[in-house]
Structure 1
Amino acid sequence: MENKKYKNYILRNYSDLPQLSALSDQEREAIGVVGRVLPFKTNNYVIEELIDWNNVPDDPIFTLTFPRGEMLSKLHYRQVKKLIDRNDEAGLKQKVYEIRMKLNPNPAGQQYNMPTVEGIKLHGMQHKYRETVLFFPSQGQTCHAYCTFCFRWPQFSGMNELKFAMKEADLLHKYLLKHPKVSDVLFTGGDPLTANASIISTYIEPLLTKEFSHIRNIRIGSK
């Protein structure tokens, strides 16, 4: 079996895919329009091995990966397309931001679940439920392919003011030591397993010591 190197496809190069000839002009256009508002990325494994191109656009993996026009309101779609056609990058950037802010980028008030330790706000953590802490390692805030249903799309959209991420392992550990009722830690993203194993180990290995005996479950949200 041939070992193929990973290659991603994003807005910049997705039109190079010969498989897209199976789509209508409108369906191809929608990828470029919606992909300006919501993050789009896939890869050669998804394209070559998982999608049944004889069944697009109804193939479920295609639907999971490629943006569709109905993901935006008709008004927002027209507004974005008009600015793309005008090549108005400044206007497009502003309009995309306005649309994103109307799409509930932080559902369920996620920003209110951000804890603090010793007066430091932990921008890469959420602690909503007593027993569970979510941690967003900075190095794992991407995926090899983005899902069209993902409610964490602000993580990948360059909206740093809405992004949850941090790389300070010591602050995670300090917070957990101060909260012995926490039994579960979920490393999430993005996909933390896109990061180097040595980086992930700096977060996880200390949790395996007796000092953190109250931590019973360590989970990693990954494809």
Structure 2
Amino acid sequence: MILNQAGTRRFKAYTSKHLEELLQRTELDEAQRLKVRAVATVLPFRTNAYVVDELIDWSAAPDDPIYRLVFPQADMLPAPDVDRLADLLKAEAPNAEIQAEANKVRMKLNPHPAGQLSLNVPRIDMEPVPGMQHKYPETVLFFPKQGQTCHAYCTYCFRWAQFVGDADLKFASDDVGQLLSYLRAHPEVTSVLLTGGDPMIMGESVLRRYVEPLLEVGQLESIRIGTKSLAYWPQRFTTDPDADDTLRLFEQVQAAGKNLAFMAHFSHPRELDSPLVSQAVSRIISSGATIRTQAPLIRSINDDPEVWSSMWRRQLGMGMIPYYMFVERDTGPQDYFAVPLAQAYEVFRDAYASVSGLCRTVRGPSMSATPGKVCVDGVTEIAGQKVFVLHLIQARDPSLVGRPFFAHYDPRAVWLTDLRPAFADRFPFETAVQDALLSA
């Protein structure tokens, strides 16, 4: 294992209070900057010195893709809402008044991610288990309380409500004992995914409190960690004070006979450029963990086949496994970032066709929808009708996994709920999902 290096700079976060200062680096005028700040009263903003100094091309901002990835855009929300908030900021209105108005705008950003989370909350003795989801039989998601922030926030994040400071919208737990009890009561669960936020925001000692007890659960085959840290703060695995201890924890997982799957979120090839990323990836893989890569398809950031094929090839060359291209979730500023499903399929197909078979471990474009992960396999014509061909990669009802079904072609559709079934009265999952919702 490569030894940790000394002399690294410490992590420095930037939040909305630093936004005006950072925006001075762009060519936005005062009125434009005010509107960006207005959007940041509604949607969370957080970045760090590594992203600001190493990843963003400020000469191209605000059109630079990494800038758009982390900085609010003035037109992400309806213009009347933005103008109203901008007027309050300009008038230096009391913070309570600004926050009350911002909250009204947030409540219009439906469907709300908090509802998506609560839909899948499991129960012990009929009591809900906070901070857990059990959507698919073999997989449980756990949201560590200390991992409910990130090194930087993505502007398109579907879990944005976790980060706006409203306690009622938080979804997390620090009760590892309750998680273990649930796993022992459900032997069908073979994989636990630690997610958030970003679990890798936690220091090694805190992360260990969640990971180490799972090593004693015999049925578990894998522990997954969903994280954007390799893109936003690779120093977490190279020069941070507890980087070596973290990698030793990863080695411990492998020694216990469990697969540690590092679910790395990369949205653009530039996030792979830094030598720090290569070093971090090498160290993680040397610990015995596997790194699988995933990201959503985002308009104005990565809606180009060349971006994806370049990203997949580079990831493969670094030893990572391309895993998923997701469709932007139906929450928050979806209208701003969403790519129509027909276009998403074309981007995926063209990128997929231009890489070797070793990169074709990737799946997509996939919607993480209520019934499961719905993949758009293509567009074709059957019996004179133009249709989408789809299948479920994962499903609440495992009997539906892998079975193709069809939807009428709609060039404007951006999500499953925009589609109508073809050659049937309903989609194959609709009855099963309705029954699940009634029993939840």
Check whether the contact 1:83–1:89 (CA below 8 A) recurs between aligned residues: no
State yes or no: 1:213 paired with 2:213. Answer: no
Check whether the contact 1:186–1:218 (CA below 8 A) recurs between aligned residues: yes
Moved more, 183-192 or 84-93: 84-93
Moved more, 174-183 or 81-90: 81-90
State yes or no: 1:93 paired with 2:105. Answer: no
RMSD: 2.0
Higher helix share: 1
Aligned to 1:110: 117
Question: Aligned in 2, Cα 1:62/1:155: closer, same or farther, shift over 3 Å?
Answer: same
Cα deviation for residue 190 of structure 1 reads 0.6
One-letter identity of the residue aligned with 2:65: P
Aligned to 1:158: 165
Aligned to 2:251: none
Check whether the contact 1:19–1:53 (CA below 8 A) recurs between aligned residues: no
Question: Aligned in 2, Cα 1:53/1:2: closer, same or farther, shift over 3 Å?
Answer: farther
Higher strand share: 2
TM-score of the aligned structures, taking structure 2 as reference length: 0.48
State yes or no: 1:15 paired with 2:20. Answer: yes
How high is the sequence identity, in percent, across the aligned residues? 44
Question: Aligned in 2, Cα 1:183/1:103: closer, same or farther, shift over 3 Å?
Answer: same
State yes or no: 1:125 paired with 2:135. Answer: no
Query: d(CA) in 1 for partners of 2:97 and 2:115?
Result: 30
Check whether the contact 1:125–1:165 (CA below 8 A) recurs between aligned residues: yes
Cα deviation for residue 24 of structure 1 reads 3.1
Aligned to 2:207: 200
Query: d(CA) in 2 for partners of 1:143 and 1:30?
Result: 24
One-letter identity of the residue aligned with 2:15: I
Residue of 176, 180, 185 corresponding to 2:183: 176
- Give the count of matched residue pairs: 221
1:2-81 to 2 correspondences below 5 Å: 3-17=8-22, 20-81=25-86
Check whether the contact 1:9–1:42 (CA below 8 A) recurs between aligned residues: yes
SS of the residue aligned with 2:192? strand
Query: d(CA) in 1 for partners of 2:214 and 2:80?
Result: 49
Cα deviation for residue 3 of structure 1 reads 2.8
SS of the residue aligned with 2:96? helix
Larger radius of gyration: 2
Query: d(CA) in 1 for partners of 2:123 and 2:115?
Result: 19
Cα deviation for residue 161 of structure 1 reads 1.2
Query: d(CA) in 2 for partners of 1:152 and 1:18?
Result: 25
Cα deviation for residue 196 of structure 1 reads 1.6
Check whether the contact 1:22–1:53 (CA below 8 A) recurs between aligned residues: no
Structure 2 residue runs of 5 or longer lacking an equivalent are: 1-5, 229-440
Structure 1 residue runs of 5 or longer lacking an equivalent are: none
SS of the residue aligned with 1:22? coil
Query: d(CA) in 1 for partners of 2:115 and 2:221?
Result: 26
Query: d(CA) in 2 for partners of 1:205 and 1:88?
Result: 47
Aligned to 2:151: 144
Question: Aligned in 2, Cα 1:33/1:98: closer, same or farther, shift over 3 Å?
Answer: same
